[in-house]
Amino acid sequence: MITLGIEGTSHTVGAGIVSDGNIVSSVTKTFIPTRGGIQPREAAEHHFLNIEDVIRSSLSKAGISFDDIDLVAFSRGPGLGPCLRVAATAARAISLRYRKPIVGVNHALGHLEVARTAAGFSDPAVLYVSGGNTQVIMHNRGFYRIFGETMDIGLGNMLDKFARHIGLSFPGGPMIERLAADGRKLLKLPYSVKGMDTSFSGILTAAMRYYDDGEQVEDISYSIQENCFAMLLEVLERGLKHLSKNEMILTGGVAVNRRFREMFSILGEEIGVESYAAPPEFCGDNGAMIATAGELMYRTNGPDSMDRTAVSQRFRIDETPASWIEDSMGKHDNNRGAEAEIKVGEIYSRKCVVKRRTPKKYRNSNLDWQLRKSRMGNEFTMLHRLEDSGISVPIIYTYDASNMSITLSLVDGYLLREQIGKMGKDEAKAVIHKIVETVSRMHNSGLSHGDLTTSNIFLTGEGITLIDPSMGSINSESEEKATDLFLLEESLRNAGIEDPEILEEVYAGYGKRNREVLQTLAALKRRRRYV
């Protein structure tokens, strides 16, 4: 089967030929703005002037003609509307003129599948980092699902904005990488991780302020990279732990960064997960990735009708069934969490859990020490505050700051992650109602958990017990409380709870006094990225 793939979501227009999963050719042309960022209509004009040339060049390199094509695939979204329409129009014209079936492909799916196919992986966790998108994606129950993403701007866009602030041209990432190679001083930047989600706007503001105040641009660039890459690998590891995947992929335009790839490889070795960083030539946008994903979609779901080829600027990856993937859930390693080694033992004839925060080799050593120390101290404080508020949490037996360890009572129960998907509708509603009652009590006490997922909630004979509030806060604002609810809902969805009537319990049990939090939650959802 021979597939022509056409890419045109943002700054790059490309065409690629794939034959039965093998890349035969790939040709791209990239729009480089003369000033500022990418203007959609200017980029679309660039694509319009170059799209015929890249398509014909790709066919020529493959040694085939339009008549030899079996399928036309194009980037349906997400992306910049004017650019998307250029690619879609070209694909429709070829499909109609040569009577070839057509498939509209999600852009992120293209990045994911071209890397997964090259790696030979069956069911990996994917860290996808580009200009507009920064996500942790994993397959679960028939679809690729987003387990974490940026809550404001993509990392690539953040790097471009900082580059413009210091007088560098587009794209900024490669130039910042070169500057970072000469950096030595780790500057303090916001480390913005909320559960599985990240935020980069605060880092951008702080970095620009450092530059304006006269800090060395090499040190600022170095600090940006060390901070941001560590944030992303942390949430990737948390996702791997959550679904017990044993393969992981790094892809997207930012994935060409050598320091990022080094840190990614170290993480894989450290946790015993097979890793694959996409080749640099296929990290950026290209037509071959669209052809690769389009071929899989066509073999599984058949072609799209012409009236279903309208572009979508907010096309999410979880809108496309991906039944060609079979979930390969591994065994949960109960001796290792995403942030700590965990051992079950006894203290004074009582069963206990010894939790030790071990160094992360992929992180800068100074940053790593600061994070472990801060989170361990915060967990100690939060456990006491939650207990004082009448919320069931593990009891602290011992606390050793020098050894970065804490000994806790063993919770007698089951993780919500392991049980919620097995419950009937009424049982699930009742359990979620109890959880949200606990969350409401916590929030009314001014506390937030910070990582309220199904991996940090135990079901016990007495009710609900919360664990690992190390990312929580005291005197929480509405945004932090809303993030708790958001993480809970997303975690439930990823555990198999998608019935709107069941999910409604998240809000039905929350209480009228928290109306401001629910309003903030609505605003938070509107800010979500588009893929």
- Residues serving a catalytic function are 451
Residue 127 near residue 254, CB atoms below 8 Å: no
DSSP-derived pairing of the beta strands 405-409 and 350-356: antiparallel
Measure the CA–CA gap between 505 and 465, rounded to whole angstroms. 18
DSSP 435-473: HHHHHHHHHHTTEE-S--SGGGEEEETTEEEE---TT-E
CB distance 448 to 442 below 8 Å: yes
- Rounded CA-CA distance 15/49 in Å is 14
| CA–CA distance, 21 with 488 (Å, rounded to integer) | 38
**Structure-block tokens of residue 302:** 């058949």
Contacts of 443 (CB under 8 A, 6+ apart): 476, 481, 484, 514, 517
- Packing angle, helices 201-212 and 217-243, rounded to 10: 160
DSSP class per residue in 221-242: HHHHHHHHHHHHHHHHHHHHHH
Alpha-carbon distance of 376 to 162, in angstroms, equals 32
Phi/psi for 462 (5° steps) reads -90, -15
Residue 369 CB-half CA count within 13 A? 5
Give, rounded to a whole angstrom, the gap between the first and last alpha carbons of the chain. Answer: 29
The DSSP secondary-structure symbol of 150 reads B
DSSP category for residue 158? H
388-417 as b/e, with b when 16 or more CB fall inside 10 Å? ebebbbbeeeeeeeeebbbbbbebebebbb
- Quickly tell me which residue has 């014209």 as its tokens: 93
Q: Which residues contact 183 (CB under 8 A, 6 or more apart)?
A: 216, 218, 219, 220, 221, 222, 223
